[in-house]
Amino acid sequence: MLNVKSGLTYADYLKTSDDERYELLNGELILSPSPKEIHQYISGNLYFKIATFVRERSVGKVYFSPFDVVLSDTNVVQPDILFISNERTEIITPDNVRGAPDLVVEIFSPATAERDRSIKLDLYAQHGVQEYWMVDPDARTITVLLRGEGGFGVAGIYGEGQILRSPTLAAFSVALEEIF
């Protein structure tokens, strides 16, 4: 992860190269390297499971990175996977998502894990993300966080041999063997 500049806004972010992957976190422009194979493998499996569930039930839309989520003028993120319910599709524009998705998934990588556990966790809570999954490829676990009055609380930590259930996507479940 390379910190490029700070004190920037969404207008500055729009001037970045499409050839590189950036996020704007608290006015700081962050360049992230390309994800590793395990990250992409997990991302593909999770996206397929979530997207299939969402499409079969027509409950919203699912996207995968890179797709900008504009949380504020100084915070633009690109979650690995995001879900927006039918009730909130007005936040989807042709260029980006303008507001907090219902569900966000971040898959840890060496360059992003600390940021996903701290800065992004706080941003997602502040801006109204209802459910946040933190996927740890090394531990082969998924921590499901649910937003409450004081921020996020742990709804469950799922590992091998367990079935993840989503509080936000009612009736969604997936065996972790199908993800890792």
73-106: pLDDT as tens digits:
999 999 999 999 999 999 999 999 999 999 999 9
97-149: pLDDT as tens digits:
999 999 999 999 998 999 999 999 999 999 999 999 999 999 999 999 999 99
User: What token pair was written down for 79?
Assistant: 């979650």
Dihedral (CA of 124, 125, 129, 132) sign: positive
Q: Which residue has the tokens 């941003």?
A: 123
Annotate 87-122 with DSSP letters as a single string. Answer: GGGGGB-SS-EES--SEEEEE--TTTHHHHHTHHHH
Segments making up each domain of the chain, as ranges: 35-178
Class of domain 35-178: alpha beta
First to last CA, the chain: 25
Query: Does residue 61 contact residue 29 with C-beta atoms inside 8 Å?
Result: no
Q: What is this structure's pTM?
A: 0.94
Mean pLDDT of the chain: 95
pLDDT value at position 18?
Answer: 83
pLDDT value at position 5?
Answer: 63
Strand 60-64 to 2-5 pairing = unpaired
Over residues 57-74, the mean pLDDT reads 97
Cβ–Cβ contacts within 10 Å for residue 51, how many?
Answer: 16
Bridge partners (DSSP) of residue 148 are: 151
Q: Is 153 helix (H, G, I), strand (E, B) or coil?
A: strand
pLDDT value at position 82?
Answer: 98
